Amino acid sequence: MRSEHLPGVSVTVREDGRELCEYDTESQDEDKTASAYIQSIPGANFTVNLTLDNTYPYANHDVYTKLNLDGNTLQTQKMYRKKYREIIYEGVARGYGNESTYHKLTFAELKTSKHIT
């Protein structure tokens, strides 16, 4: 997914290295965000890949990233323009120090209902 607000930056979701298809991509002008729906595979691990390509027009600026999934901020990271061309989010650390655990990003089981409202 590319956003018109930040040229040269793309975000993809991948399962087993394969880029997943996006549906209903939306851009929000007021908060300069973009979102898309993807087909999930319940129980499958996935990654979120952020890439800067050569068309990124702000050569003297770094990119501050924030990974939000289902409305929750999971991780933030600064992408230094001269050091990183890609960030791959594979999971999230929870806890502190020796008590921390690492959780891979995993699609949840789908919950369905027979009732339509």
pLDDT in tens, 49-84: 988 888 888 778 888 888 887 778 888 888 876 766
Using 50, 70 and 90 to split pLDDT, how confident is the model at 86? Answer: confident
Residue 20: inside a domain: yes
Residue 111: inside a domain: no
Range of the domain at 86: 9-104
Domain count, the chain: 1
Residue 35: inside a domain: yes
Residue 48: inside a domain: yes
Residue 4: inside a domain: no
Of residues 34, 14, 33, 26, the one with CA closest to residue 107: 14
Using 50, 70 and 90 to split pLDDT, how confident is the model at 3? Answer: low
Residue 84: inside a domain: yes
Residue 117: inside a domain: no
The residue assigned the tokens 């929870």 is 94
Would you say residue 29 has pLDDT above 70?
no
What's the half-sphere exposure (Cβ side, CA atoms, 13 Å) at 37? 3
What's the pTM value of the predicted model, to 2 decimals?
Answer: 0.77
Residue 46: inside a domain: yes
